[in-house]
Structure 1
Amino acid sequence: MKKKILLPTDFSKNAWNAIQYAIELYKNETCDFYILNAFNATGYALESMMVPEPGEKLYEEAKEKSEQGLGKILQRLSFRDESPNHKFFMVSQFNNLLDAIKDIVDKEDIQMIIMGTKGKTAAQDVVFGSNTVMVMEKSRNCPVMAIPEEASYKDLEEIVFPTDYKMNFKRRELQDIVEAAKMSDAAIRILHASNGDPLDEEQENNKKLLGEIFDGLPHTFHTVTNVDPQSAVRCFVESRESDMITFFNRKHSFFGSVFSRPMVKSLGRYSKVPVLALHDLRN
C-alpha cells in the first residue's frame, strides 16, 4: 500500500539530512513524498494587521525564493539512484509552519511527518529545535519522526519503546511501530522505568497486551529500577546503541512531556537517534 509522507524543509543542512533519511528508511516501499516549504514575507511589522497579497513585491520575492529552494532540492534528488516507487511533490505555501503542515496533512491524508530537529538558527545546546517540538506537540493526528542533525541512516536493528504499562494500547495506535520494525527486520525493546514496586493487575494486563500486539515480531521486555524515565531511556539507548526511540506523546502520562527542555537535553546534546512521536488517538 502506498505511503504518504510529509517532509518539511527550511533549506537547512539538517532538513536535507532528514529528507535523505526518510528516502532510505522507505527505500523498499511505495511512497509519495511531499516536500513542504512554508514561507512568509519578512518586512511587515508584527503589529501590522496587513497581510501581503499575491502580486505584492514582498510576497512575490518570498514565493520565488521558496520555489527556487524547492527546485534545487528536486534537482539534487534527480542525481540520486532513486527508487522507481518514490514520487516527489514540491509544495510552497504562504503560511506559518504548523498551519501549513496541518493543511497538507489534512488535504493529502499524510500518514507520517519526518523532519530535522534543528533549523538554520538553532542554538548549539538545543537538540530539538522549537519548530520540531511544536510540530510534535500540536500535530495531534499524525505521527512525527524527528531526525537529529548528526543522524545518518543505517538499517534499523533495535527500536526502543518506553512505557509505564498504564495505557491499554490499541493495535492501530501501534501500527507505525510495527510497520517500522517490519520494514527493517528490527527488534522492539519495551522499556519500563520502575520505582521498585511490582506491576499492579492493570499494568500486567497491559504488558500482556503489548506482547500480543508485537507477536510475530522480535521483541523483549526490559526494566530499569530506581532511575527516572528520561535517564533510563538515555542510558538504555546509549549502552545498546539502539537505532530509534518511539513513544506516545500523552499530556497526562508518567513519562510526561518528553520534549520538555530538560528531557531533550538528557537525550544527549548530540543525539544521533531518531525519535518517533505517536499520538494517543483518544486524546
Structure 2
Amino acid sequence: MQKHILIPTDYSRNAFNAIVYAFELFKKEECVFHIFHSYFLFRSAQGNILFPEPEPHEYDAVARASGASMLQLKNKVELLADNPKHTVYFDHKFGTLIELLEEKVKRNNIDLIIMGTRGITDDTKVAYGRNSVNVIESITGCAVLAVPANVHYKRINEIVFPTNFKSEFNEREINTFVKIVQLEKSPIRILHIGKEAELSERQRSNRKQLESYFEGLEYSYHWLEKTGVKEGVLSFVDDRNSGMIAFVNRKHWFFGSIFSNPLVKSLGVHSKVPILALHDLRN
C-alpha cells in the first residue's frame, strides 16, 4: 500500500533538504509525495479599516510569484526524483499554512508530514522555527517528521522513544513509526524519566500495549532518575549520538517543554537529530 507523504515548502534551502531526506528515507517504498506551498497576504486577515483588503492585482502578484518559485522547485526536484517507486505532485494555494495542511491531510489521506525545522529566516539561534512548531502542535491528523537544516540522510542508528506511559497511542501513527523503524532496521530505545517500580497499573497497561506495537522489533528500556524530562532526554540522546527522537505529543508535554529551552542549543541536538511527533488520541 502506497504511503502518502506531505512536504510543506517555503522554497528555502532547509525545505529542499527535507525533500531530499524524505526521498532517501523512503527510497525503497512505494510513495506519493505531495510537495505543497501556501502563500498569504496578511492584510487579508486583518478585518480592520486601517488595513484595507488587498486589491485583486496584489493577490495575482503573490500567486504568480509563488507559481514561478514552484516551477523552479519542480525543475530542481525532477533532477533527483528518478525513483520509479515514487510519484511526486506539486501544488500551491492561497491561505494560512495550518488550515491548508489540515485540508490536504484529510483530502489526500496523508500518512506523514516531513518538513524542515527552519524556513527562509534560517535563524541559527532558534532550534525550531515558528512554522515547524505550529505544525507539530496543531496538525493532529498524521505524524510529523521535522528534519534539521544540516542533517543529511544516513541510516538511523537508533531511535529514542521517550514516554511517561500515560499516552493512549494512535495506532495509525504508531504504525507509521514502526514502518520507519523497519525501513532503517533501527533499534528503539524506550526512555522513561523515573523509576520502573513506581509505574501505576494504567502505565503498566499502556506499556504492554506499546510492546504489542513493537512486537518483532528490537527495543530496550532505559530508566533515568533524579533528572528533569528535558535534561534527561537530551543528555541521553547527546551521549549516545542517537539518530532520531520519536515521541507522543501528549497535550504538548514534550515539545513545548523541551524545544523552547536553551538546553537544546547547548547540547547541539537541534542540529543533528530529526524529530518524529506522534499524537495522543486524546489531543
Question: Is this a same-fold pair by TM over 0.5?
Answer: yes
Other-structure match for 1:212: 212
Partners of 2:165 and 2:45 lie apart in 1 by 49
Unaligned runs of 5+ in 2: none
TM-score by length of 2: 0.90
Supply the AA of the counterpart residue of 1:23.
F
What is the deviation of 1:123?
Answer: 2.9
Q: What does 1:19-34 correspond to in 2, within 5 Å? A: 19-34=19-34
RMSD, aligned α-carbons: 2.4
Partners of 2:211 and 2:232 lie apart in 1 by 21
What is the deviation of 1:261?
Answer: 1.3
Other-structure match for 1:136: 136
Task: Give the 3-state SS of the residue equivalent to 2:281 in structure 1.
Answer: coil
Do the aligned partners of residues 191 and 85 (structure 1) sit closer, same or farther apart at CA in structure 2, a change above 3 Å counting? same
Other-structure match for 1:246: 246
Other-structure match for 2:198: 198
Task: Give the 3-state SS of the residue equivalent to 1:261 in structure 2.
Answer: coil
**Which one is further off, 129-138 or 114-123?**
114-123
Task: Give the 3-state SS of the residue equivalent to 1:59 in structure 2.
Answer: helix
Task: Give the 3-state SS of the residue equivalent to 2:151 in structure 1.
Answer: coil
What is the deviation of 1:3?
Answer: 0.8
What is the deviation of 1:258?
Answer: 4.3
Contact 2:169–2:279 (Cα < 8 Å) also in 1: no
Partners of 2:73 and 2:252 lie apart in 1 by 40
* 1:205-242 C-alpha deviation (Å, 9 max, x unpaired): 33233223211011111111111111111111111111
Do the aligned partners of residues 52 and 84 (structure 1) sit closer, same or farther apart at CA in structure 2, a change above 3 Å counting? farther
Task: Give the structure with the larger helix fraction.
Answer: 2
Do the aligned partners of residues 223 and 264 (structure 1) sit closer, same or farther apart at CA in structure 2, a change above 3 Å counting? same
Do the aligned partners of residues 10 and 106 (structure 1) sit closer, same or farther apart at CA in structure 2, a change above 3 Å counting? same
Do the aligned partners of residues 51 and 250 (structure 1) sit closer, same or farther apart at CA in structure 2, a change above 3 Å counting? farther
Residue-pair matches, total:
280
Contact 1:52–1:59 (Cα < 8 Å) also in 2: yes
TM-score by length of 1: 0.90
Task: Give the 3-state SS of the residue equivalent to 2:152 in structure 1.
Answer: coil
Supply the AA of the counterpart residue of 2:188.
I
Partners of 2:153 and 2:233 lie apart in 1 by 21
Do the aligned partners of residues 73 and 259 (structure 1) sit closer, same or farther apart at CA in structure 2, a change above 3 Å counting? farther
Partners of 2:8 and 2:272 lie apart in 1 by 20
**Which one is further off, 220-229 or 258-267?**
258-267
Q: What does 1:217-232 correspond to in 2, within 5 Å? A: 217-232=217-232
Supply the AA of the counterpart residue of 1:262.
N
Other-structure match for 1:262: 261
Contact 2:2–2:32 (Cα < 8 Å) also in 1: yes
Unaligned runs of 5+ in 1: none
